[in-house]
Amino acid sequence: MRLLLFLIICQCAIKSVNTHHASNPNVILLMADDLGIGDLGCYGNRTLRTPNIDRLAEKGVTLTQHIAASPLCTPSRAAFLTGRYPIRSGMAAFSRVGVFLFSASSGGLPSEEITFSKLLKQRGYATALIVQIHLSHFNLSSLVHLLVVLMFFSGLTLGYSMNQLMDGNQGVSVGAMLPPVHRHGGDRHLLLGKWHLGMNCESSNDFCHHPLSHGFDYFYGLTVTNFRDCKPGQGSVFLKGAQKSLVIPVQIAGITLVSLAIMQYIGLLKVLFQALAYCLLITAISLAVLIFFFYHFQHLNCFLMRNHQIIQQPLSYENLTQRLTKEALQFIGRNTDAPFLLVLTYLHVHTALYASKNFRGKSKHGLYGDAVEEMDWS
């Protein structure tokens, strides 16, 4: 799961904008998983249609070099939000699995970590996290002096605290860089999309690692990631790994039971029949539990949330992009009177690949190309 973050800075001069908006621009952060730099028209691709991203690039800035804190979702997102190396916040794993796999995992980004969403919220910004956003039907020129940024603070790659951006040898406080504004209520910090930084600590409803505990006013999306297991027909991440992990233990257990039974039969070793039966029963129950888990994984782990409430379980991919787009537009419409932060982390083009009916089969590159073009539309 490599993570591609591309930076586009677009600042539009609007005559009708007042000083308040000019000094406190709205901030929109866009993030796409597993999107190759060569898959966008602005970076030379001629077979995938990405006119909207290309237009942003033409009016903004495109980069060709970048340093990521990690090639995996969980640690890289922790670094993105905090500006610190993942290991400093406990988000770096030393095992083969370096990400959160289950919504019920009792771990996540520590609540005491300072995220840029918390800092902006202190300055009166609304913050939100959503999966997709579609601005083609929204007249931005009549709304605000808009600064579209996919922020990747210097501290993220250099390991500095989010409280301090380095300017030469002098530390510049992020808070000092943001002029004070007054909040007027409402949800103005929006997070749309996958979170993948944990949800609960001690119980199923304490939400200590939830996005709303990290400076966001509104969240709409997945608490983990877009697993292939969540979409029928896309294969399984867990089953393949489980097969490799269980082959040897199951073989050992089977050989042990058979050997004990043979030794008991020929009289070399006296083993209580009851003990053999218990061992066999424990093995059978363990396998049954694993099979049940894999069979019901989609229902247990793939769900859509709005704030603290599960609104769809299991997750349906039907018109998912359109639904997420609607959430983003509604958030922007609710927050025209004050600066806001919208963090949009796409489910595209991470597997499981999907595309709505209007885009399915329309690209020259199969389902992956369909997903890229739908993401550009959004």
Q: What residues act catalytically?
A: 73, 196
Q: Residue 358, Cβ neighbours under 10 Å: how many? A: 13
The alpha carbon torsion through 237, 243, 245, 250 (nearest 10 deg) reads: 150
**CA distances (Å), 251 to each of 240, 258, 259, 287, 303, in order?**
17, 11, 12, 13, 35
**Pairwise CA distance, residues 146 & 8, whole Å:** 13
Q: Are strands 218-222 and 164-167 parallel, antiparallel or unpaired?
A: unpaired
Amino acid at 190: L
φ and ψ of 56, to 5 deg: -60, -40
Name the CA radius of gyration of the chain, rounded. Answer: 24
**Pairwise CA distance, residues 176 & 165, whole Å:** 11
| CA angle (157, 161, 165) in 5-degree steps | 75
Residues 137/131, Cβ–Cβ less than 8 Å: no
Kindly tell me the burial class for residue 230, based on how many C-beta atoms sit within 10 Å of its own C-beta (0-12, 13-18, 19 or more). Answer: buried
Kindly tell me the burial class for residue 185, based on how many C-beta atoms sit within 10 Å of its own C-beta (0-12, 13-18, 19 or more). Answer: exposed
**Pairwise CA distance, residues 354 & 356, whole Å:** 7
